[in-house]
With several copies, the nearest count.
Chain A
Amino acid sequence: MRAVSVEEAVAMIPHGASIMVGGFMGVGTPERLLDEVVRQNKTDLEVISNDAAVPGKGVGKLFDATLVSRLTATHIGLNPKAQQQMLAKQVAIDLVPQGTFVERIRAGGCGLGGVLTPTGVGTLVAEGKRQIEVAGTTFLLETALRAKFALVHAFLADYLGNLTYALTARNFNPIMAMAADTVIVTAEHIVPVGVIAPDHVVTPAPLVDYLITNG
């Protein structure tokens, strides 16, 4: 793990990069990283995020600045700009059931090729996917999902990079922290080693590549 400024971290992200962004309706999203992505005007991003949040918040900021070329998400209904950009075909949108979304990312992070889920069988979601029968039940084969970068927001980070999350701001963050080539983290508080008890660590330090310095 290396501690870096937010400018330095975002400078590593090329135009067109695939980025996973933690958060659920903007809760638990690394806002400082997204603000800097907008400031550095990183374009054509392939974003993997649960939702498009709302304009002005979380991933919504990337749509405000029309920086997104592709979005893999479960719900965009509360962001009219994302909807408009989808309908105008400025953004390609893959809509995925939420349980499938998180399992695909988990598979990507855990070295699995995919998982078999009952979700989506017999619906539009099944189109073009392999169906596999196990013990008489039909499942969809949903394949692993990874990105070049994961932008993660933690509650506490220690000097080594061990992370905890707070309340409903945990959501996709720890799963995404396993599924990208480079993991960049903002934390509400950076604390000395030992402040976080071993049993309370959610993301172990070796998973974190860069921690954004505070204050």
Chain B
Amino acid sequence: MDAQAIIARRVAQELRSGDLVNLGIGIPTLVANYVPAGLKVFFQSENGLIGTGPIPEQGMAHPLLTDAGGRPISALPGASTFDSAMSFGLIRGGHVDVTVLGGLQVDAHGHLANWMIPGKMVPGMGGAMDLVSGAKRVIVAMQHAAKGKSKIVAKCTLPLTSARPVNLVVTDMAVIAFADGTATLVETAPGVSVGEVVAVTEADLIIPNAVPEMQI
């Protein structure tokens, strides 16, 4: 299984029936592919839709029905559309149960940096700051390391997305939970040892006696 599939499959396990879920661009988008058939989850697209469905069949796309990147999507029966004030009222107001975002860095306190590399990448924060500040549960889906450097750091060196810590980080190597300013190793990826995770992780991790392997 490739790294992205590991991450997306594991994140999908965090979703509960009835949840309103917002998926960011990149790996988070893949999570929708791994939601069990019986689970009724509402996906929000922050440009104004609840009930996003898969990419439409050839010739069935509508130019006025897109995701936040402007790509054609479909809407499931029971979908609803609304303006951006409502969309971010839902996000900031805690009505989104789970948001899944990509990350550049997450630090030991659970602080996320994912919107800016000063002097290099200044695209704007879009909806990320509101999502991290407002969603009930924030999950970061990202590679554990980039170019051999841990993305789970002692302290973020990049500008923060929010002062509010994330709840969970799911990587291709581990699941790490954040609470009360600490990071706990919750699971390891298949074939990855606790020692390997610790070796590649810059942040201090609390290691419980038993760390199960992801069941994906």
Asked if chains A and B are in direct contact (CB within 8 A), the reply is yes
Q: Which positions in A face B, CB cutoff 8 Å?
A: 1, 24-28, 50-51, 53-54, 73-78, 83, 86, 95, 97-100, 102-103, 106, 109-112, 117-125, 155, 158-160, 162, 165-175, 178, 193-194, 198-199, 201-202, 204-207
B202: A residues at CB distance < 8 A? none
- Tell me the smallest distance from the CB of A6 to a CB of chain B, in Å: 20
What range describes how many residues of B lie at the interface?
35 or more
B84: A residues at CB distance < 8 A? 24, 50, 98, 102, 171-172, 175
A119 interface neighbour in B65, B85, B134, Cβ under 8 Å:
B134
B79: A residues at CB distance < 8 A? 198
* Residue in A closest to B123 when the chains form the complex, CB atoms: A77
- Tell me the smallest distance from the CB of A139 to a CB of chain B, in Å: 10
15 contacts between A and B (CB under 8 A): A24-B47, A24-B48, A74-B125, A75-B125, A98-B88, A102-B88, A110-B88, A119-B162, A167-B75, A167-B81, A168-B49, A174-B83, A198-B75, A206-B18, A206-B95
Given A119-B134, A123-B129, A170 contacting B65 (CB threshold 8 A) = no
B63: A residues at CB distance < 8 A? 27
Contact B92 A119 (CB under 8 A): yes
Given A24-B47, A119-B129, A178-B89, A205 contacting B81 (CB threshold 8 A) = no
Which B residues from 133 to 147 make CB contacts under 8 A with A?
Answer: 133-134
A98: B residues at CB distance < 8 A? 46, 84, 88, 125-127, 130
* Residue in A closest to B94 when the chains form the complex, CB atoms: A111
Contact B88 A99 (CB under 8 A): yes
Contact B47 A120 (CB under 8 A): no
The list of the 4 closest CB pairs from A to B, nearest first, reads: A77-B123, A122-B163, A25-B70, A99-B88
B161: A residues at CB distance < 8 A? 123
